[in-house]
Every structure is written in structure tokens, then in C-alpha cells.
Amino acid sequence: MKDIATVSRTKEVLDKYGFTFKKSLGQNFLIDVNVIHSVLDKAGITDRTGVIEVGPGIGSLTEQLAKRARKVVAFEIDQRLIPVLNDTLSAYDNIDLINEDILKADIRTVIQEKFQDVDDIVVVANLPYYITTPILMNFLMQDLPINRYYVMMQKEVGDRISAGPNTKAYGSLSIAIDYYTHAKTVQQVPKTVFMPAPNVDSIIVELIKRETPVVSIDNEEQFFKLTRGAFQQRRKTILNNYMLVFEDGKKKKQEISEMLQSAGIDPKRRGESLTTGEFAEIYNKSKEYKGLKII
């Protein structure tokens, strides 16, 4: 039988089930098996690999994963797709489908139950634009035993994830990803390989989990609030932005300025010029100023 990731087979499956795309779920199905093979080659999927997939759709990527991996666990939020997937993937006994929102799922327990006999665990997914960031941060902030991520996403988000300081795409997302992983773009993906075709091209980003976070801080949630605050208004200096980040910041402008200088940061710099390490310096120094509270 033809691979699912072809135009003819995809149309056949959609017609068989009378499936209509939900724009709210960002559903765009892959119809180019060569792109999928390229991703799996880069991800190093072998018969000793456990794979977590998010949003399998009708199984285009899932099918190819199952041919290579020891075990595939696919989370699909759309109940309408479960009978479709049970049909299209019926030839494979190494796939578990979970009809659940990945943001609400107990991923750690799933890993403990499903991946007992694998050498490593990888996330491979074609992520919908509207929820790419929450999904990635949900995985990363839980400190799960996942070594690598190969995620397809719309180019704008991918550029932000892998961006460095002093670039237009650099922001708080870049810092959060850098905190947990080594990130890089590994492949461009044209919009023509999806059905329906999205409005923009996509890219595949590789995330390799760091053994320990790139900087040492005592509260990740507060640290990320601090980094997000630096980009509230990109054209403003870090001092002006931080007057909105710290409680009663306008009244404590001088104290914030002194804190930044003691951290080795010129208050006139903009957030986009600071590295993850420099943000950590600011965060750790702010802890010494009892009058400064991040809100």
C-alpha cells in the first residue's frame, strides 16, 4: 500500500472518513515522504529509540516513525482522528495512540510505562503554529528523560527559537530554549509539502537537551518572567522595561539602575543585546536587593 504521506493516499483517507480540517487546531498534514525520511535520518531514529509524537493527524509521520523506531507514542487531541489512525496504522504493533491534550497529559508516567526497553527517547513532531511554544516549554520545564527534539514548525517561530543576541528574531523564547537545550535549524520545509498548504514555509529545529541548564538560577519561573520583561517594548532600554517588571518599579528606578550596574549591565542596553548568561547575572543580583520584587 502507498505511504500515507502522499497526495493520493491522503485524499483517499480524507474522502473515506469525510474529514474536514479544523483551523483552530492548526491541522496541516504532510504529503511528502522524502521530507519525513530526511527528518528521521537527522534524528537518528533506530530500533532502540522510543519516540513521542504530538499531533499525528492521519499518521503520515507516525507510519514512517513506526518503521524505524522500537516504540512510538502519539498524542492526538482531535477525537475524530482516532478511528482514522486506528485504520491507517493498523499494520503496526509498536504504536500507542493517546487521545489527550499534550499540555494536560502526564508525560512522565507515559514514559515510565511505555518506554522501558529503549536506549533513548526522542520527540518528533509537526507542531501547529498556535501552540508550538507552550508544547515545547511544557516538555522542557518538566525535566523529562528526553534527549532530543526534532520539531517542524512555522519558520517565524523556528527563527525565534534558534536566534542569537542582536538579531531581530531574538527574544525571551530564544533564551528559554537556550537555557535548556542546544538549538539549531536543520532543514527548510516548503509549504507545498502540506495539505492544506499553510500561508508560510516551515523549518525543522533540532534541540539537544543540556546535561544541566546553561546558567544557575534558583527559580526558573521568576527568571523567565525577568527575561520576558526585557522584551515588553523592544525599542526601550532594559532599565525602562524593568520599571514594569519590578513591583513599584517607577518609584525604584534608581535602585533598579544600581542593581543592573552591579550585575555588570549598562542600564541603557536593550534586551535583545543580552545573552542568557547576562540575564542570569541580573536575576541573581536582583535577589540581593530586598526591595526589588519581580511581579
Summarize the annotated binding site as residue ranges. Answer: 28, 30, 55, 76, 101, 126
Angle of helix 276-286 versus helix 253-262 axis, rounded to 10 = 120
Q: What is the CA radius of gyration of the chain?
A: 22
Q: Roughly how many angstroms between the first and final C-alpha of the chain, as a whole number?
A: 57
Closest CA to 35 of 263, 188, 231: 188
Angle of helix 7-17 versus helix 81-88 axis, rounded to 10 = 130
Please answer whether residues 186 and 204 qualify as being in contact, where contact means their C-beta atoms are separated by less than 8 angstroms: yes
What is the value of pTM for the model shown? Answer: 0.92
Summarize the annotated binding site for S-adenosyl-L-methionine as residue ranges. Answer: 28, 30, 55, 76, 101, 126
pLDDT digit string (tens) for the chain, length 295 residues: 789 999 999 999 999 999 888 777 778 899 999 999 999 999 999 999 999 999 999 999 999 999 999 999 999 999 999 999 999 999 999 999 999 999 999 999 999 999 999 999 999 999 887 889 999 999 999 999 999 999 999 999 999 999 999 999 999 999 999 999 999 999 999 999 999 988 889 999 999 999 999 999 999 999 999 999 999 998 999 999 999 999 999 999 999 999 999 999 999 999 999 999 999 999 999 999 988 999 9
Domains and CATH numbers, the chain: 7-209 (3.40.50.150), 220-286 (1.10.8.100)
- Residue 214 half-sphere exposure toward CB, CA atoms < 13 A: 20
> Could you tell me the three cell numbers for 194?
502540506
* Torsion from C-alpha of 161, 166, 169, 175, nearest 10 degrees: 30
List, in sequence order, the alpha helices (H) in 165-275. Answer: 172-180, 220-229, 238-242, 253-262
